[in-house]
Structure 1
Amino acid sequence: MHGNSPKTLRQDLLRQRKEFAAGENHALATENLITKLNDFLVGDGNLIQSIALYWPIQDEVDLRTALLGWVNSDSGRQLALPFARPDKHLDFYQWQAGDRLTPSQHGVPEPDPSNPQRPVITPDCILIPCVGWSKSNTGSKTHYWRLGYGGGYFDRTLAQLRKNKPNLICIGIAFDWQKLDDAQWSAQTHDEPLDILVTESGVFG
């Protein structure tokens, strides 16, 4: 374990991410990551018709422009943004550029759940930003894991959605340097695995 707690590890990683975002390698790494995601969406992920993205905060990778291009290239495609419920689960509401958003209690812009023109959907794919990530091997299977902000929203939501939609694809978005080893952090029993991890180096899963 890193330092005294996962909280200390998160703080260190967020500081490093801020420094990386201000550095000279950030733009190219981001461009390469988005290219890898786009390659997946037109290749193995070409059957995906709805994607839940995230509104970037704290130097997270901004995928909005790329995903607006993806959705605009096919009239049957949809985008959605998460809304945090009081029970610490997420609902995903349809989203289009220009929609009015309001900040959550955590300061994250969220859709208006009372907007009748933007219903709740269960997306085919959920994109999740990582504060850190790790991988583990079970037999011949490699699992990828996300270290998030510690609220547990995505883990609770994925556990429920996967029961009702087993073919849901959960994709972690991260940079190579955010990889953690077992001495720093390892997934807990309540953590939900990622189906795919996308970094500037490739698509893994």
Structure 2
Amino acid sequence: MHGNSPKTLRQELLKQRKEFAAASAFPQIREKLISAIPEFLTGEGKALRTIALYWPIQDELDIRAPLLSWASNEEGRRLALPYARPDKHLNFYEWRDGDSLVPSQHGVPEPNPNNQDRPIINPDCIFIPCVGWSSSTENGKAHYWRLGYGGGYFDRTLLALRKKNPKLICVGIGFDWQKLDDAQWSAQTHDEPLDMLLTESGLLR
């Protein structure tokens, strides 16, 4: 049973994710999910030029390999990692494999904002890991929502970036078992929806 508070819910989900990552079935599920990323990049994402990803922590799915492969296959493709600003927004700095990273106040490896060789970029697509997720339907259309760590960084950043680029694609990365019902958690007015959600069952739109 999940507790009533979002904090308790997050703690329970993170505990479950740790146990899930250690289970014998996890490698097969991980490969199934990761293999869907190239399919997206050669399909709906074929026009993308800049993609923001995340540095995996706390048993988050590591999606760096397929995105590094994507970036290396064509000149002009760029990857970016988030940097948490003091005002709880994110900047995305260009990232290349082998770059030195610095730990944030939360212990997350981040790009060095003082590296003049790695500029801020506005991505065409953002991959975001989920602690949990939910779905809702409005006017016959499905919407997907992300439960994160509670800092609100991504929601603030997505709101600002979508004003600049309405075509921005935000893809949540999660697992089927992380789906939450309304009794456990429901999105709030400040939550920004995901454009797509990728789990081991495929790409949900």
**Does TM, scored on the shorter chain, surpass 0.5?**
yes
Distance in 1 (alpha carbons) for counterparts of 2:35 and 2:153: 28
Distance in 1 (alpha carbons) for counterparts of 2:195 and 2:37: 14
Distance in 2 (alpha carbons) for counterparts of 1:171 and 1:116: 29
* Residue pair 1:55, 1:108 contacting (<8 A) in 2 also: yes
What is the percent sequence identity of the aligned residues? 68
1:74 aligned onto 2:96: no
Distance in 2 (alpha carbons) for counterparts of 1:67 and 1:192: 24
Distance in 2 (alpha carbons) for counterparts of 1:4 and 1:134: 16
Q: Any idea what the Cα deviations from partners look like across 1:35-57, whole Å, max 9, x if unmatched? A: 11211111111001110000000
* Residue pair 2:94, 2:118 contacting (<8 A) in 1 also: yes
Aligned to 2:196: 196
1:166 aligned onto 2:166: yes
Aligned to 1:54: 54
Aligned to 1:41: 41
Residue 140 (structure 1) shift? 1.3
Residue 175 (structure 1) shift? 0.6
Residue 82 (structure 1) shift? 0.2
Q: Any idea what the Cα deviations from partners look like across 1:108-134, whole Å, max 9, x if unmatched? A: 000011111100000000000000000
1:18 aligned onto 2:30: no
* Residue pair 1:159, 1:192 contacting (<8 A) in 2 also: yes
* Residue pair 2:93, 2:113 contacting (<8 A) in 1 also: yes
Structure 2 residue runs of 5 or longer lacking an equivalent are none
Residue 139 (structure 1) shift? 1.3
* Residue pair 2:129, 2:172 contacting (<8 A) in 1 also: yes
Q: Any idea what the Cα deviations from partners look like across 1:10-45, whole Å, max 9, x if unmatched? A: 000000000000001111111111111211111111
Residue 2 (structure 1) shift? 4.2
Larger CA deviation: 170-179 vs 34-43: 34-43
Which letter maps to 1:158?
L
Residue 155 (structure 1) shift? 0.2
Distance in 1 (alpha carbons) for counterparts of 2:50 and 2:188: 29
Runs of 4 or more consecutive aligned structure 1 residues displaced over 2 Å after TM superposition: none
Give the RMSD, CA atoms, in angstroms: 1.0
Distance in 1 (alpha carbons) for counterparts of 2:14 and 2:66: 24
Which letter maps to 1:173?
I
Distance in 1 (alpha carbons) for counterparts of 2:2 and 2:162: 31
Number of equivalences: 205
* Residue pair 2:143, 2:193 contacting (<8 A) in 1 also: yes
Which letter maps to 1:13?
L
Residue 4 (structure 1) shift? 2.9
* Residue pair 1:125, 1:170 contacting (<8 A) in 2 also: yes
TM-score (norm 1): 0.98
Q: Any idea what the Cα deviations from partners look like across 1:183-203, whole Å, max 9, x if unmatched? A: 110000000000000001100
